[in-house]
Every structure is written in C-alpha cells, then in structure tokens.
Amino acid sequence: MRGESPFDVLSERTIQNDPPVSPYAAELVRGVQAHREEIDSMLSEHSRGWSLERMPAVDRNVLRIGAYELLWGAGIPAGVAISEAVLLAQDLSTDASPAFVNGLLARIAEINPDPER
C-alpha cells in the first residue's frame, strides 16, 4: 500500500526484529511474491464480478496468501488455508469479505490438481 517492495519491508522488519518476524510469515511473503503473477491471474480468472484492482487491498492480499497456501503450501490442508483466510478477512476487512474470500478460495481449491489437498 505504501509502494514499497514486499522484500524490502520483510528485510527491514527482520532486521528490526520488533516484533520478530516468524519464519512462516517470511515464507509467505517470499512464496506469494515468487508466484504472484500466477496467483493474480488465477484470482482474476475465478473472481465473479470483481476485478483484482477493484477488490479491497486487504481482501486481495488475504486471497493471495490463501491461494499460495492452497497451491504451494506444504502440508496445509485446503480447509485450514481457507478457514484462516476467512478469519483474517473477518477481522480485517468488510462485512461482505469473509463470504467473498471463502467462495473464491473454494473455487481455486476445486481446480487444484493435488488430490491430497
């Protein structure tokens, strides 16, 4: 939102270490950035009635994290990834956001080729 590189912010926060950045949070930043084009394309393709640019910034980023966990998160069940994203949307965004996040991530989970998820 501030126009800063997520990698720069991660590096700065890691150096400051106040509060400490968990290894998993760092993994999420790196993973989402590594797959961001593919994630954004998938979110745009499967979103109904909302372009990526029109989504609230919080929703867009919660969806990016959730999509990363669904598609590349080792050992994270799809239901857990979706539930956590919905809870984040519930705590941080609009009243309509949890249902939107749930529906879009559920569509993405349906197309995931990994039968274990």
**pTM, entire model:** 0.89
Using a 10 angstrom Cβ sphere, with 0-12 exposed, 13-18 middle and 19 or more buried, the burial of residue 47 is buried
Q: 113: pLDDT confidence band, cut at 50, 70 and 90?
A: low
Which sequence spans correspond to the domains of the chain? Answer: 1-34, 36-117
Note the pLDDT of residue 112. Answer: 72
Range name among 19-23, 56-60, 108-112 with the lowest pLDDT average: 108-112
For a pLDDT cut of 90, what percent of the chain falls above it? Answer: 74
Question: What is the average per-residue pLDDT within 85-97?
Answer: 96
What average pLDDT does the segment 62-66 reach? 97
Q: Which CATH class is domain 36-117?
A: mainly alpha
